[in-house]
Amino acid sequence: MSTQVPRLLAGLVDDAAVFPPGSAPLAEAVAAHRTHRAAWYADLVGPLLVPASALPALPDLLGPDERLAVGVIGDVPIGRLDAVLAEADPRLTVRQVEAAVAKRGEDPQPGLADLLKLAERPGGTPVYAEIPLTFGLLGALDTLAAARSAGAPVAAKFRTGGLAAELFPTPVELAAVICACRDRELPFKLTAGLHHAIRHLDPETGFTHHGFGNVLAATLTADGGAEVADVATLLAATDPVTLVEPARAHRDDERPLWIGYGSCSITEPLTDLIRLGLVNGGYEA
């Protein structure tokens, strides 16, 4: 572990450069990811996230002996993911597979059942089921928790932003789902909207975005047994001091519950973490 990235933040930010709003061409994303993996902040960065449909194009962008860790995002039907993964180039290490199991308002159980079959593949690749924060949420979490208790490498995934207001959960809604995962000992991942550390109004979209620093503080508090209201208070906070202190207190610990999140920019969260004093060259492990 780098002395400049505390253990609490290890692998916090998956590299989602090819996804909106960044939408980098695949070749540029791979080249930039190489730079991130060789940088002093490499411990902060998770795998490169790529659509399942893009896996066949990756080998042409790698050197003969180069290895690349990727997270596969299901942009093909869940039933086809197994075949896509089986055909992946051996130079690719699939660290995780992520797929939406339902659209908003749909029953997540059928898609979840199909995705859980993928979790039974040899090798134990973690599978993250993206569940809408609507109809059937708690039942889906129960199903995931039961599968995880039985040994399946599964976790939940939730969307915290997007191109429409309804895709941004309120602090109370997000706090409730964090606590629901805590109560089920179920890890979770987040995606979309977490561009900066502190909760803020985005002048371009007009939406108020969650801050990844808020989520970190809220998750630490939830892991300590806090009620939904207290977790929601941290998610709604805009005072950096309130959020930084819990992170500093736990910087040598593994991050509980929250696996991390995908960001189309690595430099934006890195810059915020440096400004907050949570990642810097002066930190000693």
Closest C-alpha to 45, from 74, 13, 22, 69: 13
Is residue 186 within 8 A of residue 156, CB to CB? The reply is: yes
Q: What pLDDT digit, counting tens, does each position of 84-121 carry?
A: 999 999 999 999 999 999 999 999 999 999 999 999 88
Question: How is residue 285 written in tokens?
Answer: 């492990």
- Decide: helix, strand or coil at residue 260: strand
Question: How is residue 20 written in tokens?
Answer: 């909106």
Q: State the 10-residue block means of pLDDT for the chain, 285 residues long.
A: 83 97 96 97 97 97 96 96 95 97 95 94 90 95 97 97 91 98 98 94 91 98 98 98 96 97 96 93 39
Q: What pLDDT digit, counting tens, does each position of 15-39 carry?
A: 999 999 899 999 999 999 999 999 9
- What global pTM score does this model have? 0.94
Enumerate residues 6+ apart whose C-beta is below 8 A from 113.
none
